[in-house]
A and B are shown apart, each in its own frame.
Chain A
Amino acid sequence: MRHLTKSMMVLVTIVLLLSTATALFANGGAETTAENYPKGNLDFVAPGGAGGGWDLTIRTTAKILKDTNLVSVPMPVRNNPGAGGSVHLASLQEMKGQDRTITVYSPPLLLTKLAGTTDLGYEDVTPLAGLIADYAAFVVKADSPYKTMADLMNALKSDIKSVKIGGISSAGSMDHLQFLIMAKASGVKNLNKIDYVSFDDSAVAMVLGGHIDLFSTGLSEVAGLIESGDLRALGQTADHRVGTGIIAEIPTCKEQGIDATFINWRGIFGPPEMPEYAVTYWRETIKKLVATDEWAAAKEMNGWDDAYMDAPEFTTFLGKANDDFKSILEEIGMLHQ
């Protein structure tokens, strides 16, 4: 009886340790200065859950920084998900002026503020570099009557309710807006009348099953189904052809006379008011990182396009991307005042 209770306790202790290990992260602590930065553990954070796009980006970055010895201190990665990355954005405000935390963001960083999810935006973090890009793809089922972006836009122009657009993210978020940007550039009026349905992860199944007419998503998300011929991409939103094989055959919207592009960028950020020495260090390190063979291999494997931008250029880019979103949201009446 006694030893049984004891062994139960041991089991429980092991189990407790196991589970807390998932929640804990290492803390460096030691004083750092410009000369010896980085010292102690860094803190790499994905503002979303495990297995998502942010998670994949930051883990790949940390791994290659380590493999290439560009950074020699430990870079444990943790997840701080919630409210489209806004939860992490809020916790970053408590790290003002610190130099340990490195995080990844993409367009939702801009959208959450514009939609009123949070009061915090890209001005409340320190942009270090733009890293990679994915592009929007507009896909239909293989037997869909729509063959080009023009077919689709014409259908919308003659009857705004005739095309049902599905996506993963919620209304007013990325999948919705990337399509509206293209629709606006094609001259479709009454953007707020276009039916957009948010489906969570099951959106792919919905377009495959013919339940929606168009699926607005990221190119890399559907590459497998485009290659297999189950889905057909009407267009993608880069300013150039991307990828290889069938993916490279997808025309850009620009080629089809729609004068607009959309980049689903991913960039690296530090906490607000990150010290100058740390900003300099990361700008230089990321510049070296994107030049490595390992990085080139990772980009190819994940279907990422190069979108490296150094901090000043990246900050300007963010400002412009923000304005684009703002005007669309304003037009459909979803801009948070």
Chain B
Amino acid sequence: MESIMQLMQGFTVALQPMNIMWVTIGGVLGTIIGMLPGLGPATGVAVLLPLTFSMGPVAALITMGGVYYGAMYGGSRASILLNTPGDGAAVAATFDGYPMTQQGRAEAALAISAIASFIGGVIATGFMVLVSVPVARFAIRFGAAEYFQLYVFALAATASMSKGNRIKGFMAMIIGLMIATIGIDAQSGVKRFTFGILELQSGIDFLIVIIAIFALGEVFKSFQNIKEGKTHVQKDFGRIWISREDWKRCVIPILRSSPLGFFIGALPGAGGTMASLMAYNNERQMSKHPDEFGKGAIEGLAAPEAANNAASVGAMIPMLTLGIPGSGTTAVMMGALMILGMKPGPLLFQQQPVIIWGLIASMFIGNIILAIVNIPLAGGLVRVLSVPPKILYPIVLGLSFVGAYAISYSVMDFYILLVFGVLGYIMGKAKIPTSPLILAVIVGNNMEQSFRRAFTISDGSMQIFFNSPISIVLFALTIISICFPMGKAVFIKMRERRQAFA
């Protein structure tokens, strides 16, 4: 109850007109940044960092928070409309969001994405008020072995993502895992596959791979379509809203995915990308009609959208309660906290209650404002579909290069971008699914490192992977998520055969 009282005090801070202005500015800025390929919340917060010198601590944190979840709202816009996710957390929005656009349902897709984001954000903020400390204490029970099991579970999701052809899905996954080994190996200090190129020593940023495969891939594909005269431009646009039936399909997935996203976000080694992909996979397996997934099932868009927004809230928990960065973005925010003279750690809530509760209260307000702003904004954005591809795709191409450059200000990234763009195109031609590759690039390095960390800690005993209840549960989930779809397929086939004989 004490936390409710403090939250009320937080609201008196967050509701000050100046702070409402800051959260709006932060949120809108975040939405715009999130829409651009490569520019995610981490970049947005980093850009704001110099400004925090001149802002007060409350204003600075509120604005940065706004940028963070604002980027979650914005990130999926480009995924839905152009199949070009701006950030890792928005990849899952392409799976069903883009097919919806192709079916002329972009308005509903954009609406549900804003609604799901809003609900996810509000639910997660509510959890944060009530259970942030127990969640943080639970999260630190994840050691190297538990993380390894978590990453394997996430990777097992690729089994359900490789529509139809499992072998090709595995091929894509292996390529992704290979890419993830590039760079200095943290456990031994050895350089792997860097070919003497300095920039490769830090590894290949998964954002570059995402931009290359999705954005550049889309440009290449449309180039061909334009040449063959197969372009489609949408002329009429409806209202940005959803039907009652759409809502019915989405409400449960949203409510299920929000806590999941919140918790995955609160794990210091996971994040929005994993949260959204796991939510997607989860819904697909629970769905009564899994074959609609990937072909424009609205709940396949709603679930990851709710999850990634909830994850962005959850990621602040380790930062605020323990002083541990929960994600790349919160790492930058922690830098800002230090610039502002605060010491991140368990005493932060006691030492700076006004600032911290002000931030939490502002997340409620910020999510409401963003939902209000995003619906009309989507009405404007959807008209990007009326832009002829000849004009649109060169812009996408330009933005891709700007975004790639902004990740680490390195010209080398342009070459990497081009190489993977071509790879993505070839994979598309060969009908090899790209999502397993993306997921493998995202989790590959962490998975391998966790495996080896666990091995060092256990002096080479495999038992460490089954030592804790968390590991065992995760292992069981992995087995289920691999076997369940296969088993179901076998079962359906058997039933068909029986009916055929009957």
Where the two chains meet, the residues of A that have a C-beta atom closer than 8 Å to any C-beta of B are 1, 4-5, 7-8, 11-12, 15-16, 18-23, 49-52, 55-56, 59-60, 63, 77-84, 86-87, 90, 115-118, 161, 164, 169-173, 195, 197-202, 204-206, 208-209, 211-212, 223-225, 227-228, 230, 301-302, 334
A23-B406 contact given A172-B189, A208-B140, CB 8 Å threshold: yes
Q: Contacting A90 at CB < 8 Å: which of B139, B198, B331?
A: B198
Say yes or no: A82 contacts B202, CB within 8 Å.
Answer: yes
Say yes or no: A212 contacts B32, CB within 8 Å.
Answer: no
Measured as residues with beta carbon below 8 angstroms from the partner, the interface class of chain B is 35 or more
Say yes or no: A230 contacts B346, CB within 8 Å.
Answer: yes
Report the minimum CB–CB distance from B454 to chain A (whole Å): 9
CB contacts under 8 Å to A, within B384-427, are: 384, 386-387, 391, 395, 398-399, 402-403, 405-406, 408-410
The 5 listed contacts between A and B (C-beta, < 8 Å) are A11-B380, A55-B49, A80-B409, A224-B348, A228-B345
Q: Contacting A171 at CB < 8 Å: which of B35, B189, B202, B410?
A: B189
A224-B343 contact given A82-B199, A172-B189, CB 8 Å threshold: yes
Say yes or no: A117 contacts B332, CB within 8 Å.
Answer: no
Question: With A and B bound together, what is the CA distance between A84 and B183 in angstroms?
Answer: 12
A223-B343 contact given A23-B405, A170-B185, A209-B140, CB 8 Å threshold: yes
Q: Mark B267-287, 1 if CB is under 8 A from A, else 0.
A: 011000000000000000000
Report the minimum CB–CB distance from B57 to chain A (whole Å): 12
CB contacts under 8 Å to A, within B129-152, are: 139-144
Report the minimum CB–CB distance from A182 to chain B (whole Å): 20
Say yes or no: B141 contacts A23, CB within 8 Å.
Answer: no
B333 interfacial contact with A, CB 8 Å: yes
Say yes or no: A171 contacts B199, CB within 8 Å.
Answer: no
Cβ of A117: which chain B residues have Cβ within 8 Å of it? 184, 191, 198, 201
CB contacts under 8 Å to A, within B321-379, are: 322-325, 331-336, 338-339, 341, 343-348
Cβ of A205: which chain B residues have Cβ within 8 Å of it? 139-140, 142, 268-269, 318, 322, 324
Report the minimum CB–CB distance from A21 to chain B (whole Å): 8
Report the minimum CB–CB distance from A3 to chain B (whole Å): 11
A86-B198 contact given A171-B186, A208-B322, CB 8 Å threshold: yes
A206-B144 contact given A8-B383, A170-B185, CB 8 Å threshold: yes
Question: With A and B bound together, what is the CA distance between A15 and B395 in angstroms?
Answer: 11
Cβ of A84: which chain B residues have Cβ within 8 Å of it? 201-202
Cβ of B140: which chain A residues have Cβ within 8 Å of it? 205, 208-209
A52-B344 contact given A59-B50, A198-B187, CB 8 Å threshold: no
Say yes or no: B198 contacts A173, CB within 8 Å.
Answer: no
Interface segment out of the listed B39-47, B239-247, B474-482: B39-47
Cβ of A230: which chain B residues have Cβ within 8 Å of it? 322, 346
Report the minimum CB–CB distance from A298 to chain B (whole Å): 9
Given contacts A51-B333, A56-B335, A197-B187, 13 further A-B contacts (CB under 8 A): A19-B36, A19-B39, A19-B402, A23-B406, A50-B332, A59-B50, A84-B202, A164-B456, A169-B186, A170-B185, A201-B324, A202-B268, A208-B322
Q: Contacting B189 at CB < 8 Å: which of A7, A173, A202, A211?
A: A173
Question: With A and B bound together, what is the CA distance between A71 and B184 in angstroms?
Answer: 39
Q: Mark B18-45, 1 if CB is under 8 A from A, else 0.
A: 0000000000000011011001000101
Say yes or no: B457 contacts A211, CB within 8 Å.
Answer: yes
CB contacts under 8 Å to A, within B155-202, are: 184-189, 191, 198-199, 201-202
Report the minimum CB–CB distance from A4 to chain B (whole Å): 5
Cβ of B386: which chain A residues have Cβ within 8 Å of it? 1, 4-5
Cβ of A5: which chain B residues have Cβ within 8 Å of it? 386-387, 391
Cβ of A4: which chain B residues have Cβ within 8 Å of it? 383, 386
Question: With A and B bound together, what is the CA distance between A201 and B319 in angstroms?
Answer: 11
Cβ of B334: which chain A residues have Cβ within 8 Å of it? 51
Cβ of B343: which chain A residues have Cβ within 8 Å of it? 223-224, 227
A201-B408 contact given A83-B199, A83-B201, A170-B185, CB 8 Å threshold: no
B459 interfacial contact with A, CB 8 Å: yes
Cβ of B347: which chain A residues have Cβ within 8 Å of it? 224, 227-228
Q: Contacting A79 at CB < 8 Å: which of B201, B202, B409?
A: B409
Say yes or no: A223 contacts B345, CB within 8 Å.
Answer: yes
Say yes or no: A63 contacts B53, CB within 8 Å.
Answer: yes
Closest to A53 in B: B335
Say yes or no: B406 contacts A59, CB within 8 Å.
Answer: no
Closest to A223 in B: B343
Say yes or no: A201 contacts B198, CB within 8 Å.
Answer: no
Question: With A and B bound together, what is the CA distance between A169 and B187 in angstroms?
Answer: 9
